[in-house]
């Protein structure tokens, strides 16, 4: 029942850890505590996934660094912004080359040269229904100044799309916005023009959609603006494709940090190309729904604490590491399949659950060890306690161990009659003095003090730690107890003026013993039970009729090492109740004259100490 109570206490603590780990993980997810770290894990997932390669239906026409040199070679104006007649010629060339959609990520909000503006307007009109123009200044209701306003756009048959980038808290572009001030974004409009279908707002989570990047900067097929202006490009390059015209030269400052650009930057045109490609492919990369992320957070928060009901700390740590690795692989597999699962918050819950579980187990184990130490150190030498606890690991019950041991029982002769004539306080003082002397002798020999029974003592040698010389240790303790320790006690009795001296009885028997902690939550004791214990108790009881203070059984005598039995006197065979055959016994001194040596002694167990077991 005691162990069950401790198990329930451990279970309650671990359930609390599970609730806290899962709850704190969900709370962190709800308030976006690790927003930046979570965003950066998406970049890592793109890096692990690798590039998909250039989309087949999107081509970039870039105003790059070489464009200026090429325009100079053609004796054309090379200062930006270029005359709008250049844009008009590019639009005409792309239209004639079969471009399905011409998306110009350039500024057309303000009038320039009237002739150039007219050339642009006429080129857009010739490409009616296939052009998209970027807008950055947007009035309420989605009104822009592109081509002079909505009327000019309508007359030219062009559409405007807002080109304001959606940047995350770390300044990185990872998402497409759906609209701004009522005007749909440039990628959304370009995708609608390319497909002739409406792009649903439902694709966008809180107004934004993850960009499924094709790869790092430079992945898209591209060609110089100057070459398209001159009409020098491979046949079929633009046929049936969406063409994004924009700047990539760093001097024009239309470059951005993205999820796949790493330490470099990606041109605005390629960023728009990735966004349009994402929409044309049906938004294949989606954020996991909130309920799924919360479920994963809760699962990873509780799995380690619940496992801690039975597993050890080492196994829990290894299991947590394996689970973290498995989760990382799982999130990457899900990402490759188009699902962005939250990573940092479930991992946070797992870490909190693991640390909390390890902390609870450590504290509970420390408390249990201290409790065991307090209960055990009174009966065992301190170095033995340390070694026992070290060997026990997390299993502190010390139960169910069967060892070859030597059991000792001792008793103070004549103490009962003495105590009947003395005050209670004095009797307790005397017995405590006696037990202190004998306990020191037992512990000094490496024995385990199992129990006090009035003035009687039960001890075991060879448990809980195995001792090859347990019989020698027990005999050494018996010699010390019946010799110097008893003499010192009797000398103290005389010095206190009691006028009374004592003899004692000690029985030693060796054999198989079952030992371990027994008891309840409130009281736990170490004990040793079995036939060996019973026989040792009965031998101690026979010392009174045998005329000696120490009786040593033949099993103990046989286990003594070389020289250990020196000076022992054989006393013959005795009859032990419960045994079919007599038992040979020895003593450390010849018996009194009342019992001749070598003569069989009666059982004489009427004064034997019966073991608690």
Give the largest Cα separation in the chain, rounded: 144
- The Cα 539–Cα 603 span in angstroms is 9
- Is the peptide bond prior to 174 cis by the omega test (within 30 degrees of 0)? no
Q: Is residue 25 part of a domain?
A: yes
203 and 92 in a common domain? yes
Q: H-helix or E-strand containing 360?
A: helix 344-376
In this structure, are residues 255 and 265 in contact, taking their beta carbons and an 8 Å threshold?
A: yes
DSSP designation for 502: -
Q: Are 532 and 474 in contact (CB under 8 A)?
A: no
297 lies in some domain? yes
Residues 297 and 256 in one domain: no
In a domain, 91, yes or no: yes
Cβ contact 515:403 at 8 Å: yes
Radius of gyration of the chain, Cα coordinates, nearest whole angstrom? 46
Per-residue confidence band for 598, with pLDDT thresholds at 50, 70 and 90: very low
- 594 located within any domain: no
Contact indicator for 539, 585 with CB cutoff of 8 Å: yes
Last residue of a domain, one of 236, 258, 287: 287
Q: Are 22 and 62 in the same domain?
A: no
Is the CB of residue 563 less than 8 Å from the CB of residue 581?
no
Cβ-proximal residues to 477 (8 Å cutoff; 6+ apart), any chain: 408, 441, 442, 444, 445, 447, 459, 461
User: Does residue 393 form part of some domain?
Assistant: no
Closest CA to 188 of 128, 134, 254, 120: 134
| 333 C-beta neighbours (distance < 10 Å), count | 11
User: Contact, 342 vs 296, CB < 8 A?
Assistant: yes
The torsion angles phi and psi of 6, rounded to 5 degrees, stand at -65, -40
- Condensed to tens digits (0 to 9), the pLDDT of residues 199-240 reads 999 999 889 999 999 999 999 999 999 999 999 999 999 999
Residues 252 and 351 in one domain: no
- The verdict on 277 and 303 lying in the same domain is no
Q: What is the mean pLDDT of the chain?
A: 89
Whether residue 396 is predicted with pLDDT greater than 60 in this model: the reply is: no
Q: What percent of the chain has pLDDT over 70?
A: 89
Spatial CB neighbours of 449, under 8 Å, sequence gap ≥ 6: 378, 379, 380, 439, 442, 443, 457, 458, 459
Clarify whether residues 111 and 125 are in a common domain.
Answer: yes
Tell me the CATH number at 507.
3.30.70.1230
In this prediction, residue 597 carries a pLDDT of 39
Say yes or no: 436 and 582 in one domain: yes
Residues 276 and 305 in one domain: no
Helices 344-376, 2-30: axis angle to 10 degrees equals: 160
The pTM for the full model equals: 0.71
- Average pLDDT for residues 151-179, to the nearest whole number? 95
Identify whether residues 89 and 13 lie together within a single domain. Answer: no
Whole-angstrom Cα distance, residue 55 to residue 62?
Answer: 16
Which of the listed residues 224, 259, 287 is the one where a domain comes to its end?
A: 287
User: What is the span of the domain harbouring residue 21?
Assistant: 2-32+293-373
Rounded to 5°, the CA angle 426-506-412 comes to 15
The count of other CB atoms within 10 Å of the CB of residue 336 is 13
More confident residue, 8 or 63: 63
Answer yes or no: do 143 and 68 share one domain: yes
Q: Return the number of other C-beta atoms located less than 10 Å from residue 534's C-beta.
A: 21
Last residue within a domain, chosen from 257, 287, 317: 287
pLDDT tens by residue, 331-364 = 999 999 999 999 999 999 999 999 999 999 989 8
- Number of structural domains (the chain) is 3
In-domain check, residue 84: yes
Residue 378 lies in a domain: no
For residue 587, give the nearest of 442, 514, 483 by alpha carbon: 483
pLDDT tens for each residue of 556-590: 999 998 777 788 999 999 888 877 788 999 999 76
Mean pLDDT over residues 33-49, rounded? 96
Q: Using the predicted structure, report yes or no on whether residue 600 has a pLDDT greater than 50.
A: no
What is the pLDDT at residue 399? 56
- 522 pLDDT band (50/70/90 cuts)? low
* pLDDT at position 523: 62
Whether 343 and 449 map to the same domain: the answer is no
Q: Does 611 fall in a domain?
A: no
Q: State the number of CA atoms in the 13 A half-sphere of 366 facing the CB.
A: 6
- Reduced DSSP (H G I as helix, E B as strand, rest coil) percent helix, strand, coil of the chain, to 5: 45, 20, 35
Calculate the alpha carbon distances from 476 to 235, 402, 467, 471, 523 in Å. Answer: 107, 23, 14, 9, 31
The predicted structure's pLDDT at residue 378:
60
Same domain, 303 and 275: no
Kindly report the number of other CB atoms within 10 A of residue 48's CB atom. 11
């Amino acid at each position: 029942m005691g162990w069950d109570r401790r198990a329930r206490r451990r279970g309650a603590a671990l359930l609390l850890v599970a609730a806290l780990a899962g709850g704190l993980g969900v709370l962190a997810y709800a308030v976006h505590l690790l927003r930046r770290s979570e965003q950066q894990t998406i970049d890592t997932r793109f890096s692990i996934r690798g590039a998909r390669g250039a989309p087949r239906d999107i081509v970039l026409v870039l105003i790059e660094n070489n464009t200026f040199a090429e325009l100079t070679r053609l004796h054309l104006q090379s200062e930006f912004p270029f005359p709008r007649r250049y844009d008009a010629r590019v639009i005409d060339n792309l239209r004639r080359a079969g471009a399905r959609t011409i998306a110009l990520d350039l500024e057309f909000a303000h009038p320039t040269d009237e002739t150039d503006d007219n050339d642009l307007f006429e080129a857009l009109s010739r490409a009616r229904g296939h052009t998209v123009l970027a807008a950055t200044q947007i009035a309420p209701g989605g009104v822009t100044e592109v081509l002079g306003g909505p009327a000019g756009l309508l007359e030219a048959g062009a559409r405007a799309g807002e080109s304001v980038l959606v940047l995350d808290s770390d300044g990185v572009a990872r998402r497409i916005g759906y609209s701004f001030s009522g005007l749909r974004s440039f990628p959304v409009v370009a995708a609608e023009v390319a497909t002739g279908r409406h792009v649903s707002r439902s694709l966008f989570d809180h107004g934004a959609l993850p960009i499924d990047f094709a790869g790092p900067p430079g992945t898209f097929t591209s060609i110089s603006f100057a070459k398209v202006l001159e009409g020098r490009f491979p046949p079929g390059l633009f046929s049936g494709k969406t063409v994004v015209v924009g700047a990539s030269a760093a001097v024009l400052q239309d470059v951005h940090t993205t999820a796949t650009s790493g330490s470099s930057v990606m041109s605005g045109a390629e960023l728009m190309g990735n966004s349009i490609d994402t929409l044309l492919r049906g938004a294949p990369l989606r954020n996991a729904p909130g309920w799924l992320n919360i479920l994963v957070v809760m699962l990873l928060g509780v799995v380690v604490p619940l496992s801690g009901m039975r597993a050890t700390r080492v196994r829990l740590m290894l299991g947590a590491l394996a689970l973290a690795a498995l989760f990382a692989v799982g999130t990457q597999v899900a990402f490759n399949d188009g699902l962005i699962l939250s990573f940092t918050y479930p991992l946070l819950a797992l870490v909190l659950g693991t640390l909390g579980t390890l902390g609870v187990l450590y504290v509970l184990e420390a408390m249990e060890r201290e409790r065991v130490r307090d209960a055990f150190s009174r009966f065992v030498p301190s170095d033995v306690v340390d070694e026992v606890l070290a060997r026990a690991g997390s299993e502190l019950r010390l139960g169910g161990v069967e060892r070859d041991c030597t059991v000792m029982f001792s008793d103070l002769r004549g103490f009962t009659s003495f105590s009947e004539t003395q005050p209670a306080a004095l009797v307790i003082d005397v017995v405590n003095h006696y037990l202190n002397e004998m306990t020191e002798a037992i512990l000094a020999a490496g024995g385990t003090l199992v129990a006090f029974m009035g003035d009687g003592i039960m001890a075991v040698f060879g448990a809980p730690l195995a001792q090859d010389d347990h019989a020698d240790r027990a005999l050494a303790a018996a010699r010390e107890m019946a010799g110097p320790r008893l003499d010192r006690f009797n000398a103290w009795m005389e010095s206190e003026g009691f006028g009374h001296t004592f003899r004692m009885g000690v029985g030693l028997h060796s054999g198989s013993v079952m030992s371990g902690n027994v008891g309840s939550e409130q009281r736990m004791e170490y004990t040793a039970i079995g036939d060996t214990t019973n026989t040792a108790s009965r031998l101690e009881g026979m010392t009174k009729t045998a005329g000696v203070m120490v009786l040593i059984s033949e099993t103990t005598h046989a286990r003594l090492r070389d020289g250990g039995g020196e000076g022992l006197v054989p006393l013959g065979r005795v009859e032990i109740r419960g045994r079919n055959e007599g038992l040979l016994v020895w003593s450390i001194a010849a018996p009194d004259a009342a019992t001749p040596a070598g003569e069989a002694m009666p059982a004489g167990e009427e004064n034997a100490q019966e073991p608690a077991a």
